[in-house]
Amino acid sequence: MEEIILIGGGGHCKSVIDAIEQQAKYKIAGIIDKKELIGTEVLGYKIIGTDEDLPSLQKQFPNAIITIGQIKSNAVRVKLFESLKKLGFNMPVIISRLAYVSRHASVGEGTIVMHGAIVNPHAKIGKNCIINSKALIEHDAIVEDNCHISTGAIINGGVIVKANTFFGSNATSKEYITIDSFIKAGSVAK
């Protein structure tokens, strides 16, 4: 198995660790977080460095995934993604073994599809996205770069979710609309 490092050791990291372990494609080499946390562990994986260590770590571990979540803003995730790409990291797609992604769908680099998520035919998901647990991305939907589709959210057929959108837990969209904003949990996007 190829090794991968995780960028961020908080709550979202725990969920990503579980998905990576389920996928059984990558071996987690360690986690990048704050200096004062070096040597501590998240679910048995050591925090091995900080952002400052990334240039030297890239030579040893060419694969990385951002494990910082996104609620109020995705600015940190976007900045990290751009920095990691400039450093030459490979940003693989992580798809939980417990998710379903149609072979007729596409998923961009650095995106994670969590447990129970469904991505149906002809859906297109961009780079650096979180498709969280039990989210549904229906046929012909487009989720552009740097989006977070939260737990249990439903993106119906033909919807375009513009870049940098946050779509809250259990929110539902009407079909064939464009969404370009923060959609709060439990709401209906029309």
pTM, two decimals, is: 0.95
Other beta carbons less than 10 A from residue 35's beta carbon: 11
DSSP letter (8 states) at residue 36:
G
Residues in the chain: 190
**How far apart are the C-alpha atoms of 54 and 151, rounded to whole Å?**
30
Residue type, 169: S
Given the structure tokens 């693989």, which residue do they identify? 92
| pLDDT tens sequence across 84-100 | 999 999 999 999 999 99
All domains in the chain, ordered by first residue: 2-86 (3.40.50.20), 94-189 (2.160.10.10)
| pLDDT tens sequence across 102-151 | 999 999 999 999 999 999 999 999 999 999 999 999 999 999 999 999 99
**How far apart are the C-alpha atoms of 184 and 186, rounded to whole Å?**
6
Give CA 106 to chain center in angstroms. 14
Tokens standing for residue 129: 């996205």
